[in-house]
Amino acid sequence: MKTLTGAQIIMAVLKEECVETIFGFPGGVIIDIFDELARTDIQHILVRHEQGAAHAADGYARAKSSVGVCLVTSGPGATNTVSGLASAYMDSIPVVALTGQVPTKLIGNDAFQEVDIVGITRPCTKHNYLVKRTDDLARVLKEAFHVARSGRPGPVLVDLPKDVSQGKARYKSLPKPRMPSYNPTYKPNVKQLQRAVELVKRAKRPVVFSGGGVILSGASKELTKFAKRLHAPVTASLMGLGGFPGTDALWLGMLGMHGTYRANMAIERCDLLIGIGVRFDDRVTGKVEAFAPNAKIIHVDIDPTSISKNIPVTVPIVGDCRASLREINGLLDDEKVRFSKKSRKPWLDQIEKWKSTQPLRYEQGDAIKPQYVIEKLYELTKGKAIITTEVGQNQMWAAQYYHFDRPNCFITSGGLGCMGFGLPAAIGAQVACPDRLVVDVAGDGSIQMNIQELATAVQYNLPVKVVILNNRYLGMVRQWQELFYKKRYTATDMEYAPDFAKLAEAYGALGLKATKPEEVVSVLKQGLKSPGPAIMDFWVAREEGVYPMVPAGAGLSEMLLA
């Protein structure tokens, strides 16, 4: 047992937790921690804004399937992380945020750069801590990582007063935390699994609905095996894209407000819906009373509070998605249950009819269509890139027209819908996967919210690519104004904007622009081949909409079509 400073204890625990990278921004309250960080081999990525640090830690966590870490100072440094933490919380992403705090004797005195960040983030973190004694530091940090990565993952904040990081305490390596009040259920109830199998055996028109929980639990292989065994079509939430191969014949496409016609109609007509790792949020369900009206519903999720929260279910199964699917596949093996393609033919034929009559479509004319850009991006990358997105129409077009065959390749702010997410998340993903191509699909509105992080990419020679679908509007809101507000485009016109290609050059990155359809492929090729960061600015049709679209308050079958 050694006597160490609080800052040394923090570094010791981070090493034990196998932390390789921290995204941060320094300040006076945490200067001791940064000084100690410089003595380790942990990589520090200096962001340009603390929101960028939180989003980068999020992107890193998703791409690497590990815990992302950010380190920021007190006061505004801490409050600037709130949007990033809220986004990670909504999407169940394991992030540990270390925030500086004024010395304990000054807490509550309105000291310089003091905020109650524990109180502020209580609603948008899985758990948070204010460490008041250096003696408690190691235990709290170990608990923070344990809580962040276990059960339903999520962000955890640890607030570190300056005197705690400067103080000294006896330190020894601690075992895995034991928290009697926190025991996530990983193993599902066998009786519930058997009930689910009975419903599966009787179903004529089943649909498998995959969510972010499938990706977080590493259950993609088990899900694919299950769906193929049933010959059941598969749809997914925005967060679930990549959990099932997007080029498979059983793939329906994304579900919900901007889901495919065939996916939404399949939910309308199915007799069994098997939801795995999903929340049934409003963007998926549309009008709750009209959601899957003819179906019995099986719901598998590790979080018991998510089950029947939004949609009543027939068979609830609390457990880890991978463990639950393994058990269900095992029960089907034990009972030698087989499903023939012939028995599914009427159902699959109906789905094929929906697909052929109402496919995703657009018409490429004189102006660049954003869908065309995404299609060409998919072709040139062969579907192998890690795609991050900003939020808005760009996000939906990426989800619709880029086909994800593998998990952890689509990184987006789903639940919170946080504009400014994509670029710092791409930086985090690139750090996590240095040999992969990482592309941020952006809108001209969202990209400006954290465009300063381009300097971070340039400083660390992170070859992230940014594809801007530039319609000079806040496009998603504009689309609603077009459809429901008689084209009164209030506060959505973004005609006044920088020249993004020149701005990229000012940061030291490659800047390219395309204004004609025939320029799209050449600009993409040049930008994607660039050895460093690049911005590709595509001037797309200004009033192009995202379709299908389910209006607010409507059922999934009440889609507006292109």
- Note the Cα 105 to chain centre separation in Å: 39
List the beta strands (DSSP E) in 155-259: 156-161, 168-171, 206-210, 234-236, 251-254
Give the span between the Cα atoms of 27 and 549, in whole angstroms.
46
Catalytic residue among 113, 166, 350, 452: 113
162 included as an active-site residue: yes
Reduce the DSSP state of residue 521 to 3 states and report it: helix
Q: Residue 541's CB: how many other CB atoms inside 10 A?
A: 18
Place of tokens 């595509």: 538
Residue 495 annotated to the active site: no
Q: Concatenate the DSSP letters of all residues of 359-426 into one string.
A: -------SSBPHHHHHHHHHHHHTT-SEEEE-SSHHHHHHHHHS---STT-EE---SS--TT-HHHHH
Catalytic residue among 50, 375, 453, 544: 50
Which residue of the set 142, 162, 296, 465 is catalytic?
Answer: 162
Contacts 24+ apart (CB under 8 A), 502-510: 503/451, 503/535, 504/454, 504/466, 504/533, 504/534, 504/535, 507/454, 507/455, 507/458, 507/533, 508/455, 508/458, 509/454, 509/457, 509/458, 509/533, 509/534, 509/535, 510/534, 510/535
Q: Which helix (H) or strand (E) holds 538?
A: strand 534-539
The whole-angstrom separation of Cα 437 and Cα 425 is 13
Catalytic-role residue among 2, 105, 112, 353: 112
222 carries an active-site annotation: no
> Of 476, 536, 549, 559, which is the active-site residue?
476
Residues 391 and 476: their CA atoms lie apart, in Å, by 9
Whether residue 159 contacts residue 130, with contact meaning beta carbons closer than 8 Å, is answered with yes
Closest CA to 432 of 474, 402, 460, 400: 460
25 is catalytic: no
Is residue 17 among the annotated active site residues?
Answer: no
Instruction: Kindly tell me the sign of the dihedral angle through the C-alpha atoms of 178, 180, 185, 190.
Output: positive
3-state secondary structure of 188: coil
Residue numbers annotated as active site = 50, 112-113, 162, 476
